Structure 1
Amino acid sequence: MKFASRAGTRRAAVIFLSVATLGLLAGCGDGEKKSETKAAVDAVSVFETPVTAKSLVEPVIGTGTIAAAKTTELGPRVNGIIDKVYVYVGARVKEGDPLFHTRDIEIKNRVAELENQVKLAEAEVRNTGRAYGRSNELHDKGFVSNGGLDNAQAARDAAKARLGIAQAQFASAKQALEDCTVRAPYDGVVTRRDVDEGKFMSVMSGMGMMSGGEGGGGGSGGGVMQIMKIDIVAAIVQVPEVDLQKIHVGSKGKVIIGSMGESFDSEVYILNDLIDVKTRGVELRLPILNPDYKIKPGLFARAEIYPEPRKVLSLERSAVQGTESQRYVFVAGNGVAKRTPITMRQIDATTVEVLSGLKAGDTALTGPNLALIVDGTPVKVETIAASAIDANTTAR
């Protein structure tokens, strides 16, 4: 009986020790699992965005005004009273159409007078020519001296010279008569009319530049009217001189006219070599076809000129941290975040150009938890697909 009791006691002790050992082992396993779980909880979930090499075209912006292809201030070509004005402001005219007329009665009389003077000079040339011919025949027979022959020749030559003068004066008078009617130098529109019939105009006063005109308070007495060629117009815009090296004659562009709600494809046709010292701007001209005349000179215009594309390294703006003078990103390395300084330039609201600090193919950390990260923070890089699955699971 004593032997059986001792054996039972030993079995109970062995069982107790086994249970205790298993408890200790179980306790150790739980501790390791809790440690691993804690480490997993401490890692911040983030995403990665790549640094990408791409071609970038950044438009050069200029503002200015629509101008006519040609603008001409028209005044009288002869002195006199303007007795007829054939057109009004807004009239469409063709090349050669009459625009206005100067009274020509005095010039017509002068033309008639000079025409008769030409006839007299022609008769004198004929007479002196015949006289010289007879003198030359008689000189050969010895009846006219050398001096007589010279006099006859001089009279003939003088008559020819007087005829030349009369013909030149007659031609000038006929031209003046034709110039009484001023005609359109090209197809265009009348954009200003400065005088009405009855005003005396001189050629010199008609050379003055005008302002105002019909419907605009009247002119200042200089010209008669203004005509513009607008079947082709041009956007005359200024761009900053710092952009001069990006553009050239032939650079493609677009002209936007906000008041019309339209844009027109064009290109740089003229690049002014003179820099405006006040605005530090460069003048460009971009032509636009305008066959229906719907684009009016004087409209405000904005131009976008597209230079040749250049290679850049782009990165999402959301990955960039820091201040203007000290920009940086975080990159993942060995499961922790590493702060990396960069220099950058803004491309648009969502993208920056990386100038230094990263290369093509590198990745930077981003995501809603980016504000929780400092240098050395444990991170867990998520994928977009995994994030979407987690979000759906949470929603359920």
Structure 2
Amino acid sequence: MKRSRHKIYISAVISMILSLLGCGDRSHKDVIVQESELTGSNIAEEQSDPIEATLVRRIQFEKTVFASGTIAAKQTSNLGPLVEGVVEKIFVRVGDRVKAGDPLFQTRKVDFERRVDEARAAMNLADIRGVQAKRNYDRAKELASQENISQARLDDVETSFQIAGAEILQARAALETAEQQLTDTVVHAPFDGVITARNVDEGVYLSNRFSTGGSSAVVRIQEISIVSAIVQTPEENLGLLALNLPARVQIQGHKEVYDSFVYILNDLVDPITRTVELRLPIKNEDYAIKPGQFAEARIILPPRELLVVPRSAVANVGKITFVFVVVDGIQNQVAVEIREFDSEQVEVISGLYEGDSVILNPPHSVKDGEKLKRRIESGEY
């Protein structure tokens, strides 16, 4: 009789605890006492040695791809002479900011002015010969109509007239060439930019045959109102990247972090470094960013949702990865597929659903399919 009353008393206490817990704040720790034949001696044991569990969560995750490289100008031109001759005057210095069309340097003009005079004289001579040839042809046609000259003579006069016309065209082309060469003695800026190199001084003779760069270039001009961060990232990231992805660029020597995006994604993977190249444009209207500076970029990938659980919930037996899921007081061993996420959590690829309750650090006593005989502490995670 006393033993029965003792059991009734324990049952009443358990009911009161469950009632109080049902009204409590479940945002902290829930205590769920599973149905069992408890005695006064094992209640203390269950209270001191609980099983801890947590819920499978769904989170928003933004992954970042890191890349590093160098700042480059939008455009770079090494400008040499357009015509051969002595560099007579250089109008700019390193650091000068120029507008498109501004004069940069000049080749000696006197020789080309003389060539224009010679070509113009040749043009005048050709015009005069043309006028004379036209008169002869008109007169010959009139005489031929009166049968005063032979057809052969008329053909010769007509041919001379046609030759005079061709000589006029040839002289005109030569004059235009000479005038263009005279114009080309002055080299102008092809775009707005800054002078970043001056390779020679006045008095140096340069040929226009090899004026595309190197020692034949007089100045270098770069457009840097917009610069480009040319950065590389390991080829393993190639499948994650796409044009127009947003990016944040940190440039050495600058506190500001610059907004950008993937403008160019190179189709070539470097076979030596195993990296892929990206180009990220950056506005630089005040010219504060200089070509050649070191840059680090974070390319922000589109956010995605994923399920995560703590690493401590996952166990392995051989090649099988599993967790224990609690459903209606039953502990169920569930095989899962996971992927690395961070030092404390793993991503769940398959096997679990959002809101599933999983046991943390499952003890050896936890068996698949058994009813729980100890309380569960479900903590925040």
CA pair 375-177 structure 1, distance change in 2 beyond 3 A: farther
Higher helix share: 1
- State whether residues 88 and 108 of structure 2, in contact with CA within 8 Å, keep that contact through their aligned partners in structure 1: yes
Alignment of 1:319-338 (within 5 A): 319-320=313-314, 329=323, 331-332=325-326
SS in 1 for 2:69: strand
- State whether residues 51 and 363 of structure 1, in contact with CA within 8 Å, keep that contact through their aligned partners in structure 2: yes
Residues 157-185 of structure 1, C-alpha deviations (whole Å, 9 max, x = no match): 11111111111111111111111111000
Letter in 1 for 2:264: I
Return the alpha-carbon distance in structure 2 between the equivalents of residues 133 and 333 of structure 1: 115
SS in 2 for 1:64: strand
Residues 61-89 of structure 1, C-alpha deviations (whole Å, 9 max, x = no match): 22222211111111111111111111111
1:276 matched to 2:270? The reply is yes
Structure 1 residue 267, shift from structure 2 partner = 2.0
The answer for unaligned runs of 5 or more in structure 2 is: 11-37, 368-372
CA pair 157-230 structure 1, distance change in 2 beyond 3 A: same
Structure 1 stretch 129-138 or stretch 374-383: which is displaced more? 374-383
Quote the residue 2:135 is aligned against: 130
Return the alpha-carbon distance in structure 1 between the equivalents of residues 318 and 62 of structure 2: 24
Quote the residue 1:250 is aligned against: 244
The correspondence for 2:232, drawn from 238, 243, 260, is 238
Structure 1 residue 325, shift from structure 2 partner = 7.8
1:90 matched to 2:95? The reply is yes
- State whether residues 338 and 376 of structure 1, in contact with CA within 8 Å, keep that contact through their aligned partners in structure 2: no
SS in 1 for 2:260: strand
Letter in 1 for 2:122: Q
Structure 1 residue 335, shift from structure 2 partner = 6.9
Alignment of 1:47-126 (within 5 A): 48-126=53-131
Letter in 1 for 2:224: I
Quote the residue 1:44 is aligned against: 50
Structure 1 residue 318, shift from structure 2 partner = 5.6
Return the alpha-carbon distance in structure 1 between the equivalents of residues 70 and 275 of structure 2: 15
The correspondence for 1:173, drawn from 174, 178, 189, is 178
- State whether residues 82 and 185 of structure 2, in contact with CA within 8 Å, keep that contact through their aligned partners in structure 1: yes
Count of aligned pairs: 346
Measured on the aligned residues, the alpha-carbon RMSD in Å equals 3.2
Return the alpha-carbon distance in structure 2 between the equivalents of residues 102 and 344 of structure 1: 71
Return the alpha-carbon distance in structure 1 between the equivalents of residues 224 and 255 of structure 2: 19
Quote the residue 1:157 is aligned against: 162
TM-score, normalization by structure 2: 0.80
Return the alpha-carbon distance in structure 1 between the equivalents of residues 79 and 90 of structure 2: 12
Return the alpha-carbon distance in structure 2 between the equivalents of residues 361 and 239 of structure 1: 37
The correspondence for 2:282, drawn from 280, 288, 308, is 288
- State whether residues 255 and 302 of structure 1, in contact with CA within 8 Å, keep that contact through their aligned partners in structure 2: yes
1:259 matched to 2:264? The reply is no
SS in 1 for 2:101: coil
Quote the residue 1:14 is aligned against: none
Residues 25-84 of structure 1, C-alpha deviations (whole Å, 9 max, x = no match): 99xx99x854233433452363x3221234433122222222111111111111111111
Alignment of 1:303-318 (within 5 A): 303-317=297-311
CA pair 86-321 structure 1, distance change in 2 beyond 3 A: farther
1:380 matched to 2:370? The reply is no
- State whether residues 141 and 154 of structure 2, in contact with CA within 8 Å, keep that contact through their aligned partners in structure 1: yes
- State whether residues 96 and 184 of structure 1, in contact with CA within 8 Å, keep that contact through their aligned partners in structure 2: yes
Residues 328-378 of structure 1, C-alpha deviations (whole Å, 9 max, x = no match): 655557879777664433323444212344332212344xxx5x9444396
Residues 283-323 of structure 1, C-alpha deviations (whole Å, 9 max, x = no match): 22221222222222222222222333333212245655679
Structure 1 residue 154, shift from structure 2 partner = 1.4
Structure 1 residue 275, shift from structure 2 partner = 1.9
Letter in 2 for 1:267: F
SS in 2 for 1:294: coil
Quote the residue 1:300 is aligned against: 294
CA pair 85-228 structure 1, distance change in 2 beyond 3 A: same
Return the alpha-carbon distance in structure 2 between the equivalents of residues 318 and 249 of structure 1: 39
TM-score, normalization by structure 1: 0.77
- State whether residues 65 and 237 of structure 2, in contact with CA within 8 Å, keep that contact through their aligned partners in structure 1: yes
- State whether residues 62 and 238 of structure 1, in contact with CA within 8 Å, keep that contact through their aligned partners in structure 2: yes
Return the alpha-carbon distance in structure 1 between the equivalents of residues 277 and 262 of structure 2: 10
Structure 1 stretch 347-356 or stretch 315-324: which is displaced more? 315-324
Quote the residue 2:349 is aligned against: 355
Percent of residue pairs identical: 38
Quote the residue 2:147 is aligned against: 142
The answer for unaligned runs of 5 or more in structure 1 is: 1-20, 211-220, 386-396
Alignment of 1:359-374 (within 5 A): 359-366=353-360, 370=361, 373-374=363-364
Structure 1 residue 228, shift from structure 2 partner = 0.8
Return the alpha-carbon distance in structure 1 between the equivalents of residues 166 and 81 of structure 2: 32
- State whether residues 332 and 379 of structure 1, in contact with CA within 8 Å, keep that contact through their aligned partners in structure 2: no
- State whether residues 88 and 202 of structure 2, in contact with CA within 8 Å, keep that contact through their aligned partners in structure 1: yes
